[in-house]
């Protein structure tokens, strides 16, 4: 018996099932036949589809989940009425165990994998009944007696946690999850955090913990993949996307994970990653999920059967660990957390709204919708037990550590006294992963005595130091701040080591001798560090000495060298560094300073004993997480911050982050202390932000006293003065680059201009990042707070500078051989610089990947870049690849510049007559596809079909099945356009789809299924179209992590709902599912399309009314503005036409005519004479209404764009 209540066991074998209540059979056993297996597998397949529906479709999902749960209930009840008998005697908690042999076959797996969490009767989900306490779990093997299970230590809940965030993966909000764990059951949790993300280093860290103090729970956060394989030939298997020793991706399977952490064996392993409890799709019982593999090695495993939202995973963790801390069993604690999500009572934590593989970054939308997001994920958690699993994971109440998790933060606050506001609440700590990892490696290694964290003011150096101290609880923290004389060092150490008798005695004995005596300080420190603070054992206690804000005692070198320690404090700091270097201690130093410095002892540079770690500005992702955290904390702490107030300040919060330019201190000041304070009027916030924007461009400081004082303290202007003329010139030249660049790639630039990149780094004017090509190489970029204050190089100067750097940079980034391994962003930058320098060799090597990388997200930029490259390559007599012509034309066409696209394709058309069989390559096939697309756009369907037929023949001759299928798909498009839906559908289903299925191309198969759905929708088969969108497309895009494709598909679902008349459902999807994704991706065209669709739905719902007019105008204005910037002529005609009508309908006649002028110009550019005439006629009507004095109440309500 697992708990006080009723244990019900569904015992499963290959041929039968039996139901037991408290060990006694409920009726006779039942056969488990093929019909049962088929039914259960069908329910699991339906569940797998429904679970991918987002929060906006939660009501639809819950209806379908209820159907699945009731069918499962009916199967379990059976003809024997098992559950009917049980219901009369059930006592809470209802612990429902599905027990199976250690090696289950297909039939057993069908039972195990059925979605028991959604079991439902006529009253609803069993999980929703708080009185029942329904707690389902699965077990492999017969349970051993409690007395024979691993003994629990007599400590309170202990958790070891590690998040993995390998380069190239979207970073999870693991800091929010850590905060949730710490908040579980107050502070009654002992938490050990491993920062490396590497399973090997996790195992090493766990091995260093006394076995008696081992945490009983291991919590892993990362991305997961249930269907991963290193190559097309390799078998598929579930993995966790963890990190290697350098921070790169390390796909880790179950066996590798267990081997890495041995001999440590947690009582509960929580793999908080998507799909960890899901078997690979289509595996038919042959493949195992990650948790199924892990539970053979540990007593209990918890995972997610699907893609879980960050905000749900975080809230679930807090409720789960709160329950475990109170000695609930694993199954009961999971049930409590599941019920909290389902009933909308879980804490609204600040994780993202998207899944662990795709997230939105709008914190206000996330928190306002948190209950809905949590409800959409309530059923995903799965508990699997082995023979030894089942009981609590807490055996007592003793603490492993006598210090609470926040003690480091509080200690630093006390030390900083009146200046403590510069150290933010630890709940707001985000980012800095690579800096933490690098620093911790130094602190455990033998090459340096400590680290020097340096960088511009307000970058969070002290917060980072506090984080490092919290990660090394084996070191006693001593903090020196504000006063840096010998007695101050000793006093800080004495306070920290008050409980260490030997250390206290030594410090007390030498207190008077050390006063103002650096030599005595050094002698005392050596005795201390080589004696009672040498290493960790029963009688010794190593120390972490934090000397904070050292810039207070530094002075600039008049000769332009590194800063120097002020004469009064120089002996003290020299004594500290010498003592640590000479004592062979495990104690360590952490210094923070705005500037690195020099401190020479004879001919020895003492600072060489420190590893210098430059703290860069926040990435956009870290800034987004900080913004989410600010909103969450403000909602808890500011009573007046209502939902309405919060929604009204949403755009201001985005603006504050942008103005901060990656400086977390500024973002905290502007966001948390201004925007999110209702007591500060919106007008004042807007004024401060406007003044900040003026200051960024070289103007005066804002009038707000707090902001002004902060900027004065940061002293950006003074830093520029310190740089000197040559360094300022070099810094200005660095504005040429749009990416951080490796120093080896700009050496000629520095040689030509003069100045020192090292000097600019020391001053914090050049920031150091990881290089995008080789993360082990440092890359440099101008600080964003400084960049806008400098005059950017002119076009002529940029061309000259590009000539100086492009060859070196091209070589540093891999040269011609590295074009396929370089990130798209690097190829884009090299192409841009190559065009400026008129270097055809560089452009030729990089432009194809550059255009490909841009054409989906920024088609206008891709088209312009490709067009410029084509001109340069032709001018230099180089052969322009047909693929470049095709992709450039596609980008131009997508961005609405059809005339330019035609011109690009015409360049290839002039070569068609010269094309011989040897020239008809795959590149030429791409060109034919694009040429046919252009012909279709112009209405030449016969010409397009002939071009596609030629493309089919070429692809068939070359043996390129994918290109053949794509060309056949284009022919299907032509047939659909002509109304021959049956022929189009036949091509899609019988010719195109089988190719992608045979090749295993999930993405193209999903795209083709979407094309089939389009045909079904055109036929009026809305149910069939919806089924494809939900069951064939969404799961694939979720699995692939393609957030944009998923958003587009959700938009298509909204179209279906709109066609059905469910306008509210369609609007909810557009606003909550599609729009946030485009905002995160900064997809301006996507945002424009969604806002236009929202306006159309509002008009369709109610017409234009006083209540909705402003919302419709806002949507159309945003859409119109974005399309004007992107130049999308086709979309401008539609949006501008409708926007003009709406403006006229509310009496804004002049504005309406101006908008319609833009629409006319766009229609004229596209050669649409009919629409031009319609829009001009509409303008004439508006002018007449204005002249007649017709008011808005007499103006017809608009419904669609002219000619739509």
Give tens-digit pLDDT for 341-395.
888 765 554 444 444 444 444 545 554 455 667 788 899 999 999 999 988 999 9
What are the residue ranges of CATH 1.10.10.10 in the chain? 718-792
With a CB cutoff of 8 Å and minimum separation 6, the contacts of 521 are 486, 489, 490, 514, 572, 575, 576, 579
Q: Which residues of 1139-1156 are buried (b: 16+ CB within 10 A; e: fewer)?
A: bbbbbbbbbbbebbbebb
Residue indicated by tokens 């977390």: 664
pTM (predicted TM-score): 0.82
Residue among 139, 159, 136, 380 nearest 267 (CA): 159
> What pLDDT, on the 0 to 100 scale, is given for residue 1009?
95
Q: How far apart are CA 848 and CA 860, in angstroms?
A: 15
> What pLDDT, on the 0 to 100 scale, is given for residue 359?
41
Task: Count the Cβ atoms, other than its own, within 10 Å of residue 87.
Answer: 13
> What pLDDT, on the 0 to 100 scale, is given for residue 416?
59
Q: What DSSP designation does 703 have?
A: S
Name 161's bridge partners.
Answer: 193, 219
Backbone torsion region of residue 124, taken as left when φ is above 0, otherwise alpha when ψ lies between -120 and 50, otherwise beta: left
Pair of tokens at residue 463: 């917060």
With a CB cutoff of 8 Å and minimum separation 6, the contacts of 501 are none
Q: How far apart are CA 944 and CA 733, in angstroms?
A: 49
With a CB cutoff of 8 Å and minimum separation 6, the contacts of 410 are none
Q: How far apart are CA 1136 and CA 1123, in angstroms?
A: 9
Task: Count the Cβ atoms, other than its own, within 10 Å of residue 962.
Answer: 14
> What pLDDT, on the 0 to 100 scale, is given for residue 355?
46
Q: What angle do CA 806, 812, 814 make, to 5 degrees?
A: 105
Pick the CATH number of 718-792 from 3.30.70.1350, 3.40.50.12280, 1.10.10.10, 1.10.3720.10: 1.10.10.10
Domain 1083-1194 in CATH 1.10.3470? The answer is no
With a CB cutoff of 8 Å and minimum separation 6, the contacts of 882 are 908, 921, 923, 924, 926, 927
Pair of tokens at residue 626: 């900080």
Half-sphere exposure (Cβ direction) of 1045: Cα atoms closer than 13 Å: 22
> What pLDDT, on the 0 to 100 scale, is given for residue 985?
95
> What pLDDT, on the 0 to 100 scale, is given for residue 349?
44
Q: In this structure, what are the phi and psi dihedrals at residue 1051, rounded to the nearest 5 degrees? A: -65, -35
Domain 793-1060 in CATH 1.10.150.20? The answer is no
Cα-Cα-Cα-Cα dihedral sign, residues 115, 116, 119, 125: negative
Contact 692, 659 (CB under 8 A): yes
Q: Give 3-state DSSP helix, strand, coil % of the chain, rounded to 5.
A: 55, 10, 30
Q: In this structure, what are the phi and psi dihedrals at residue 596, rounded to the nearest 5 degrees? A: -70, 165
Residue among 376, 380, 372, 426 nearest 404 (CA): 426
Give, in words, the CATH class of 407-614. Answer: alpha beta
- Low-confidence spans in the chain with pLDDT less than 50: 1-3, 282-284, 349-361, 363, 367-368, 420-421
> What pLDDT, on the 0 to 100 scale, is given for residue 415?
62
Residue among 299, 294, 246 nearest 273 (CA): 294
Pick the CATH number of 155-381 from 3.30.70, 3.30.450, 3.40.50, 2.60.120: 3.40.50
Q: Cis ω on the peptide bond leading into residue 93 (within 30° of 0)?
A: yes
Residue among 23, 6, 5, 36 nearest 99 (CA): 23
């Amino acid at each position: 018996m697992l708990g006080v209540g009723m244990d019900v066991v569904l015992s499963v074998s290959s041929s039968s099932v039996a139901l037991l209540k408290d060990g006694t059979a409920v009726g006779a056993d039942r056969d488990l036949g093929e019909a049962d297996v088929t039914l259960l597998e069908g329910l699991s397949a339906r569940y797998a589809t429904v679970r991918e529906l987002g929060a906006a479709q939660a009501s639809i999902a819950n209806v379908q989940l209820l159907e699945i749960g009731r069918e499962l209930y009916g199967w379990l009840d059976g003809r024997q009425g098992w559950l009917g008998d049980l219901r009369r005697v059930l006592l809470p908690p209802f612990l429902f165990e599905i027990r199976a042999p250690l090696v289950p076959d297909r039939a057993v797996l069908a039972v195990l994998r059925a979605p028991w969490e959604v079991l439902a009767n006529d009253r609803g989900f069993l999980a929703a009944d708080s009185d029942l306490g329904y707690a389902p779990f699965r077990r492999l093997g017969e349970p051993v007696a409690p007395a024979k299970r691993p003994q629990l230590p007599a400590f309170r809940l202990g958790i070891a946690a590690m998040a993995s965030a390998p380069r190239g993966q979207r970073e999870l909000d693991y800091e929010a999850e850590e905060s949730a764990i710490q908040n579980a059951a107050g502070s009654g949790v002992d938490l050990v955090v491993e920062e490396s993300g590497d399973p090997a280093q996790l195992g090493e860290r766990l091995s260093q913990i006394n076995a008696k103090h081992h945490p009983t729970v291991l919590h892993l956060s990362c991305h997961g993949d249930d269907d991963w394989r290193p190559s097309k030939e390799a078998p598929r298997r579930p993995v966790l996307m963890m990190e290697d020793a350098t921070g790169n991706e390390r796909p880790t399977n179950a066996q590798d994970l267990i081997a890495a952490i041995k001999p440590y064996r947690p009582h509960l392993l929580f793999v908080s990653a998507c799909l960890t409890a899901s078997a690979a799709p289509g595996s038919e019982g042959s493949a195992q999920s990650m948790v199924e593999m892990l539970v053979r090695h540990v007593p209990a495993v918890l995972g997610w059967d699907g893609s879980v939202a960050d905000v749900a995973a975080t809230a679930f963790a807090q409720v789960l660990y709160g329950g475990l801390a109170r000695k609930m069993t694993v199954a009961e604690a999971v049930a409590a957390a599941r019920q909290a999500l389902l009933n909308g009572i879980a804490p609204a934590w600040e994780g993202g709204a998207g899944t662990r593989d795709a997230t939105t970054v709008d914190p206000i939308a996330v928190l306002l919708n948190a209950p809905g997001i949590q409800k959409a994920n309530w059923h995903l958690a799965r508990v699997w037990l082995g023979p030894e699993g089942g009981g609590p994971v807490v055996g007592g109440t003793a603490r492993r550590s006598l210090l609470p998790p926040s003690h480091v933060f509080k200690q630093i606050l006390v030390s900083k006294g009146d200046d403590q506001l510069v150290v933010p609440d630890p709940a707001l700590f985000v980012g800095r992963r690579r800096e933490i990892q690098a620093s911790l490696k130094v602190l455990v290694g033998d090459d340096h005595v400590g680290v020097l964290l340096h960088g511009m003011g307000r970058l969070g150096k002290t917060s980072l130091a506090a984080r490092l101290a919290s990660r090394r609880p084996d070191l006693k923290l001593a903090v020196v701040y504000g006063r840096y004389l010998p007695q101050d060092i000793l006093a800080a150490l004495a306070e920290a080591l008050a409980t260490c008798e030997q250390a206290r005695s030594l410090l007390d004995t030498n207190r008077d001798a050390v006063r103002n005596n650096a030599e005595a300080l050094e002698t005392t420190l050596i005795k201390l560090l080589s004696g009672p603070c040498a290493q960790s054992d029963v009688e010794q206690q190593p120390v972490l000495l934090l000397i904070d804000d050292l810039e207070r005692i530094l002075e600039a070198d008049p000769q332009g060298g590194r800063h120097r320690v002020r004469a009064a404090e120089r002996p003290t700091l020299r004594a500290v560094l010498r003592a640590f270097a000479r004592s062979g201690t495990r104690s360590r130093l952490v210094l923070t300073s705005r500037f690195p410095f020099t401190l020479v002892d004879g001919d020895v540079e003492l600072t060489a004993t420190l590893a210098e770690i430059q703290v860069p500005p926040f990435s956009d992702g870290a800034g987004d997480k900080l913004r989410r955290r600010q909103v969450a904390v403000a909602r808890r702490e500011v009573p007046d911050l209502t939902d309405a107030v919060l929604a009204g300040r949403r755009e201001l919060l985005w603006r504050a982050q942008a103005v901060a330019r990656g400086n977390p201190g500024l973002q905290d000041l502007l966001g948390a202390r201004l925007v999110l304070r209702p007591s500060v009027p919106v007008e004042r916030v807007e004024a401060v932000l406007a003044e900040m924007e003026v200051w960024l461009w070289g103007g005066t400081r804002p009038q707000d006293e707090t902001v002004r004082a902060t900027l004065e303290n940061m002293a950006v202007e003074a830093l520029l003065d310190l740089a000197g003329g040559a360094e300022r010139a070099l810094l200005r030249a660095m504005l040429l680059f749009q990416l951080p660049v490796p120093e080896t790639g700009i050496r000629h630039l520095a040689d030509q201009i003069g100045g020192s990149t090292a000097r600019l780094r020391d001053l914090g004017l050049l920031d150091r990042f990881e290089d995008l090509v080789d993360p082990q190489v440092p890359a440099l970029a101008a600080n964003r707070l400084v960049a806008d204050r400098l005059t950017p190089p002119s076009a002529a100067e940029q061309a000259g500078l590009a000539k100086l750097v492009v060859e070196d940079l091209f070589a540093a980034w891999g040269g011609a051989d590295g074009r396929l391994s370089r990130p798209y962003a690097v190829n884009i930058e090299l192409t841009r610089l190559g065009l400026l320098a008129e270097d055809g060799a560089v452009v030729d090597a990089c432009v194809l990947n550059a255009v490909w990388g841009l054409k989906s997200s920024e088609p206008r930029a891709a088209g312009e870049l490709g067009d410029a490259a084509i001109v340069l390559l032709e001018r230099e007599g180089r052969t322009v690849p047909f693929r470049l012509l095709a992709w450039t034309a596609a980008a131009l066409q997508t961005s609405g510049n059809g005339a330019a696209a035609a011109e690009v394709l015409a360049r290839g058309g002039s070569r068609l007559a010269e094309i011989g069989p040897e020239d008809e390559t795959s590149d030429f096939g791409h060109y034919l596809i694009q040429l046919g697309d252009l012909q279709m756009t112009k209405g030449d369907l016969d010409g397009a079909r002939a071009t596609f037929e030629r493309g089919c023949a070429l692809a068939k001759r070359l043996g390129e099945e994918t290109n053949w299928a794509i060309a056949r798909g284009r022919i299907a498009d032509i047939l659909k356009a002509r109304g021959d839906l049956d022929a189009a559908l036949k091509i899609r289903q019988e010719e195109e789809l089988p190719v992608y299925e045979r090749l295993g191309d999930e993405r193209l198969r999903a795209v083709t299924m979407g094309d089939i759905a389009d045909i079904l929708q055109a036929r009026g088969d809305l149910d069939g179209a919806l089924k494809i969108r939900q069951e064939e497309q969404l799961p694939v895009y979720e699995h692939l992590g393609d957030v944009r494709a998923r958003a587009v598909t959700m938009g298509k679902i909204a179209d279906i709902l709109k066609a059905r008349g469910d306008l509210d459902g369609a609007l909810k999807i557009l606003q909550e599912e599609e729009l946030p994704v485009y905002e995160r991706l900064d997809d301006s065209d996507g945002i424009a399309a969604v806002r236009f669709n929202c306006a159309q739905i509002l008009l369709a719902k109610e017409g234009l009314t006083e209540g909705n007019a402003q919302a419709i105008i806002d949507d159309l204005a945003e859409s119109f503005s974005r399309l004007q910037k992107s130049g999308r002529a086709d979309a401008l005609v539609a949006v501008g036409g409708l926007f003009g009508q709406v403006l006229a309908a509310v009496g804004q006649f002049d504005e309406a005519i101006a908008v319609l002028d833009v629409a006319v110009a766009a229609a004229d550019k596209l050669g649409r004479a009919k629409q031009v005439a319609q829009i001009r006629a509409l303008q004439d009507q508006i002018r007449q209404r204005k002249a007649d004095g017709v008011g808005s109440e007499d103006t017809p309500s608009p419904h669609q764009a002219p000619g739509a």
